[in-house]
């Protein structure tokens, strides 16, 4: 296990990490990158649908369970990332503690997940701009934002981290303002349309605690689990972080705490001020609440916030995609050209390849939406669950190997609390989410695409390995 901490000692040469990447991200960057990958249209727009389906208490319960799962996964990832701060960490851990075929499959799945998400974010950004410029074509704005995100990722990792910090800060500020204003309205400190008294929490049980029964909580839970995907970006960025032993644990704990506070706090405020049966997806619950207290330009303000959320997600998406490609190239599974970095420590070819992949996904959403793009979305949909499950397996195997090699847990730079209960609980919850996928008619088709795709990834890996071995012999 002597090499478990290799990454900790590789920050020499101008803060340059292993193999050319620079260690220039700080704890505040890591925290906001993780928040930026999660907080998006799911909270600002789709949260009303969650309340409408599961009811106020059901929605809060679903987000609480989702927060618990994220916490379990993140503390496992935190321990691994401090001990072995590799860029593109998920498949590096999987290669060491599970197997190289699984590592390759995880990297491909996760890359595809973010490439498809990136395409949808660019589309959404173009459509959002049409609120202010209704006569302009959406594709023009999409092209502008593609250029902006590409520029942010190609210049330096610090610029990327700084941009993500400010993108995410706007979202966080909007959520904090929403919760504060909402609480003032709930307790009657400011007037709200439709009420001549303090609303308090009467809407929570106006039609019973679970107005649609308890079953919708389970289907909502699946949506919530996917809504929290993106927190694991902390692990991808570990190889480019200053002082990982301090920055990563801090980012892990602050991210999980803030996510739980922001999501559950926002849902609680929405549920108290908007009757559950009036919540939906036509209008953002944030807009409904701000309009009902007489806030001027509520729709325009929230459109700006959602636009920054979309750009934040796109920024994170391109970063994650490029580091996965870089990592695969370092492992010699794809041409070594993709591992080359420029003088800023940015893997330029990996960024270019990832941007090209997202543009192809964007093109397929226009010309083959019901075939190719549908399959891409289905395959990428379960990638987060696969990654989370693999992280917990790697954590358990890492800890066993650590102890077996004569080390004490006191020697770890960061020791995950609740071991081994939390990683086992996270794996059980991931399996439970997959069971929900099987039981949900609308989600079941994702497995029909996912299973053969995973089989092809394993097959592709072993073909690559055979050709590489033959090449060495020749």
Take residue 190 and report the two structure tokens written for it: 């400011």
Whether 5 maps to a domain, the answer reads: no
- Residue 14 covered by a domain: no
Identify the bridge partners of residue 25 per DSSP, sorted by sequence position.
241
Q: Which residue, among 369, 273, 213, 356, has the nearest Cα to 47 in the 3D structure?
A: 273
Highest average pLDDT, of 15-29, 32-46, 427-441, comes from: 427-441
- 35 in helix, strand or coil? helix
* Centroid of chain to Cα 68: 15
Cα separation, 312 vs 37, in Å, equals: 7
C-alpha span between 106 and 108 (Å, rounded) = 6
Which residues, including other chains, have CB under 8 Å from residue 51's CB and lie 6 or more apart? 59, 267, 270, 271, 274, 276, 279, 285
The residue among 20 and 361 whose pLDDT is bigger is 361
257-302 tens-digit pLDDT: 888 888 888 888 888 887 777 666 566 778 878 888 888 888 888 8
* 59 vs 47 pLDDT, higher one: 59
Per DSSP, the three-state class of 242 is coil
pLDDT for the residue 102: 92
> How many angstroms separate the CA atoms of 192 and 188, rounded?
8
pLDDT tens string 164-210: 888 888 888 888 888 998 898 888 888 887 777 777 777 777 777 77
Q: Which two tokens stand for residue 281?
A: 């997806």
Phi, psi (rounded to 5 degrees) for 25: -90, 140
Global confidence as pTM: 0.85
CB contact at 8 A, 73 and 287: no
Rg, the chain, Cα only: 22
Would you say residue 104 has pLDDT above 60? yes
Residue that is written with structure tokens 């997202």 in the block: 358
208 forms beta bridges with 206
pLDDT at 7 exceeding the cut of 70: no
Q: Which of 78, 33, 29, 88 is nearest to 325 (CA)?
A: 88
pLDDT of the residue at 21: 62
Rounded CA-CA distance 255/35 in Å is 6
| Contact of 399 with 358, CB cutoff 8 Å | no
Q: For residues 142-152, give the mean pLDDT.
A: 91
pLDDT: which is higher, 325 or 215: 325
Q: Are 402 and 412 in contact (CB under 8 A)?
A: yes
**Residue 4 domain flag:** no
Examine the pLDDT at 385 and tell me if it is beyond 60. yes
> Using an 8 Å Cβ cutoff, are 273 and 181 in contact?
no
Q: What is the pLDDT of residue 236?
A: 72
What is the reported pLDDT for 299?
82
- What's the pLDDT band for 44 if we cut at 50, 70, 90? confident
Does the residue 325 lie in any domain?
yes
User: Are 319 and 354 spatial neighbours (Cβ–Cβ below 8 Å)?
Assistant: no
d(CA 104, CA 116): 18
Distance in angstroms (rounded) separating the CA atoms of residues 125 and 26: 28
Residue that the structure tokens 């070594």 belong to: 336
Tell me, yes or no, whether 140 lies in a domain. Answer: yes
Average pLDDT over residues 367-396: 85
Contact status, residue 150 vs residue 319, Cβ threshold 8 Å: no
Please report, for the chain, how many H helices and E strands are present, in that order. Answer: 17, 0
Q: Which residues of 15-38 are buried (b: 16+ CB within 10 A; e: fewer)?
A: ebbbbbbbbbbbbbbbbbbbbbbb
Q: How many domains does the chain have?
A: 1
Under the banding of pLDDT at 50, 70 and 90, the label for residue 6 is: very low
474 within domain boundaries: no
Looking at every residue in the chain, the average pLDDT score rounds to 82
Measure Cα distances from 340 to 240, 326, 329 in Å. 15, 8, 9
Highest mean pLDDT among 10-19, 20-29, 399-408: 399-408
Report which of 336, 465, 418 is spatially closest to residue 78, judged by C-alpha positions: 418
- Count CB neighbours of 428 within 10 A: 14
Is 149 part of any domain?
A: yes
Q: Is the pLDDT of residue 108 over 50?
A: yes
- CATH number of the domain to which 146 belongs: 1.20.1740.10
Within 30-75, strands assigned E span none
Say whether pLDDT at 119 is over 60.
yes
The mean pLDDT value for 12-26 works out to 52
Model confidence at 12: pLDDT above 70: no
d(CA 242, CA 25): 6
Token code pair at residue 54: 């599961």
Residue 13: which pLDDT band, with cuts at 50, 70 and 90?
A: very low
- Domain assignment present for 186: yes
Range of the domain at 257: 21-466
On whether the CB atoms of residues 128 and 280 are closer than 8 A, the answer is no
């Amino acid at each position: 296990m002597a090499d478990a901490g290799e990454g900790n000692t590789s920050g020499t040469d101008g803060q340059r990490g292993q193999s050319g990447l620079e260690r220039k991200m700080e704890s505040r960057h890591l925290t906001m990158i993780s928040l930026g990958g999660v907080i998006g249209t799911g909270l600002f727009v789709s949260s009303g649908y969650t309340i409408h389906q599961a009811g106020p208490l059901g929605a809060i319960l679903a987000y609480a369970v989702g927060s618990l799962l994220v916490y379990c996964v993140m503390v496992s990832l935190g321990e691994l990332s401090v001990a072995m701060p590799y860029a593109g960490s998920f498949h590096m851990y999987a290669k060491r503690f599970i197997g190289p075929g699984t590592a390759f499959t995880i990297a491909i799945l996760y890359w595809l997940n973010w490439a498809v998400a990136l395409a949808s974010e660019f589309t959404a950004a173009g459509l959002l701009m049409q609120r202010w410029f209704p006569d302009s074509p959406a594709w023009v704005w999409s092209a502008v934002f593609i250029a902006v995100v590409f520029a942010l990722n190609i210049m330096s990792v610090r610029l990327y981290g700084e941009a993500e910090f400010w993108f995410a800060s706007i979202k966080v500020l909007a959520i904090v303002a929403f919760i504060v204003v909402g609480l003032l309205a709930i307790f009657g400190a400011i007037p709200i349309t439709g009420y001549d008294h303090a609303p308090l929490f009467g809407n929570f049980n106006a039609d019973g605690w679970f107005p649609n029964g308890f079953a919708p909580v389970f289907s909502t839970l699946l949506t919530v689990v996917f809504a929290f995907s993106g927190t694991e970006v902390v692990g991808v960025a570990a190889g480019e972080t200053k002082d990982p032993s301090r920055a990563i644990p801090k980012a892990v704990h602050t991210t999980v705490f803030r996510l739980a506070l922001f999501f559950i706090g926002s849902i609680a405020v929405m549920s108290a001020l908007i009757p559950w049966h009036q919540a939906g997806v036509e209008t953002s619950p944030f807009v409904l609440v701000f309009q009902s207290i007489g806030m001027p330009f509520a729709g325009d303000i929230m459109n700006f916030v959602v636009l920054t959320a979309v750009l934040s997600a796109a920024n994170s998406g391109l970063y994650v995609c490029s580091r996965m490609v870089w990592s695969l190239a370092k492992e010699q599974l794809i041409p070594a050209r993709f591992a080359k970095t420029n003088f800023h420590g940015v893997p330029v070819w990996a960024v270019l390849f990832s941007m090209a992949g997202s543009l192809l996904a964007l093109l397929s959403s226009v010309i083959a939406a019901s075939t190719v793009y549908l399959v891409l979305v289905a395959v990428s949909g379960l990638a987060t669950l696969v990654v989370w499950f693999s992280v917990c397996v790697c954590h358990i195997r890492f800890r066993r190997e650590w102890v077996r090699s004569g080390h004490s847990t006191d020697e770890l730079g960061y020791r995950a609390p609740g071991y081994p209960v939390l990683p086992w609980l996270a794996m059980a919850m991931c399996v439970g989410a997959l069971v929900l996928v099987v039981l949900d008619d609308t989600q079941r088709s994702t497995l029909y695409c996912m299973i053969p795709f995973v089989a092809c990834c394993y097959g592709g890996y072993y073909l690559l390995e055979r050709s590489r071995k033959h090449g060495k012999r020749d």
